Structure formats: C-alpha cells, structure tokens
A = this chain, B = another copy of it.
Amino acid sequence: MTRPDVPNPAVRRLTLYLRQLEQLLEEGADRVSSSQLAQSLHITAAQVRKDLGYFGAFGRPGVGYRTAPLIDALRRILGTDKPRNVIVVGAGDLGRALLRYKGFKRKGFNFVAAFDIAPGKVHRSAGGVEVHHLRELPRIARRHGVELAVLAVPPEAAQECTDLLCGAGVRGILNFAPTTLTTPEDVAVGPVDLAGHLEQLSYLLGPSR
C-alpha cells in the first residue's frame, strides 16, 4: 500500500484548493466545478482536475465536485483531518508571533510547547503555550508524539536545533532560519526564507535606480 507518486507542485496546490473550497463552502456553495476553482486561483481547469486525479475521482461529469466531501477528502490527504501536535523552537519575536498566529490552529495544528535557551524567555508563556528550556525538548516531544516542528531561531543555532529535533522523533521541520539544513532522508524540511521572498520580488522590479 504505497501512495501515488505526485509532483510536489501538485501538493502545494492541494492546500490552495482546500483553502478556496473552505471559503466557497462558507459562502454557501455546495458544488464547485474545476473551472470555478481554477479561475479563483488563476490557474487552468485542467490543472485542477489533473491534481485531484492523482488521488482519486472526486467529481461527477456534467456536475462538478460537491464542496464538503471534497474538503474532507483533501484534509485526509494532507493529514490534517485529525489534529497534529507541533512544537516551536525559538521564542523570539518571530517564534512568539507564530505561536499567536491563528491560522495554524484553524488548519488543525496544535502547538503543545515552545522552546528557547535564553533565561529571559523560558517559563514565560506565549500565545497560551509555555516556553521550556531546550534541554527538555526530547522528553516533551516524545511525550506528545510530536512529528512537526517550527524552527525560528538565529541561523547559527539552526543546525544544532535541527539535530536535536531529528533525534527527538520529529519528521517535518518548517524552517524560518535563513540557512540550509541538513537532515536524515526521512525528515523533511520546508524552507521559508522571508527575506529571500522579498529578494525574488525585487528581482522582478528590475535594476534598482
């Protein structure tokens, strides 16, 4: 029982479909066509159908897709149909803002703890979550069966925190530190380079005057 082999960009779009479908459902649409979905996301209808097609046949020819069941299916595919426990490493400005950010909980992610080493940060709570000393990470991560982590530490500390996370059973790391991490094959990294994203936009503007 191995999963279908799916292009990475398709998985990224799945999250967009889910987001859009949730909004459409809220607006009272109980059915959607691939072309409606496509238009609202500025992509092609064929792309939408192909992406969904990697995982099954969810629609009815001549009719389209029923919104609610498709949402359920996408959540199951993405693994967010049941809540997932997540930890945050680094309780600086960014880490604390991420702890308070409502969007994660809304998607079924549950922050169970945060970690730092600075004495001024441990034991305070941020976004309703307690900040522990980094040395407690393995114990707490294991106890809660944590498989996902958000990394928001300075770049110099990122690799050692990563090693600690990998040793503690974490299998996915969302990395906000501007550095490339090295992990075992079975641990995935989602790089989020904030300044890098602005640089890419800057490129599009053309040479600076």
Contacts and interface: CB of A to CB of B under 8 A. Distances in A.
A57 interface: no
A198 B109 contact: yes
A177 B203 CA distance: 22
A2 to B, nearest CB: 10
A103 interface: yes
A85 to B, nearest CB: 10
A199 B3 CA distance: 17
Interface in A136-186: 147-148, 150, 171-174, 178-180, 182
Contacts of A19: 178-179, 193, 196
A16 interface: yes
Contacts of A80: 199, 202, 208
Interface of A: 3, 11-12, 14-16, 18-20, 23, 40-42, 76-82, 84, 86, 93-94, 96-98, 100-101, 103-104, 106-107, 109, 147-148, 150, 171-174, 178-180, 182, 188, 190, 192-209
Nearest to A74: B199
Given A42-B180, A195-B104, A79 B206 contact: yes
15 contacts: A12-B200, A14-B203, A15-B199, A19-B196, A40-B180, A42-B180, A78-B202, A81-B208, A84-B205, A84-B208, A97-B97, A103-B195, A148-B205, A190-B200, A192-B192
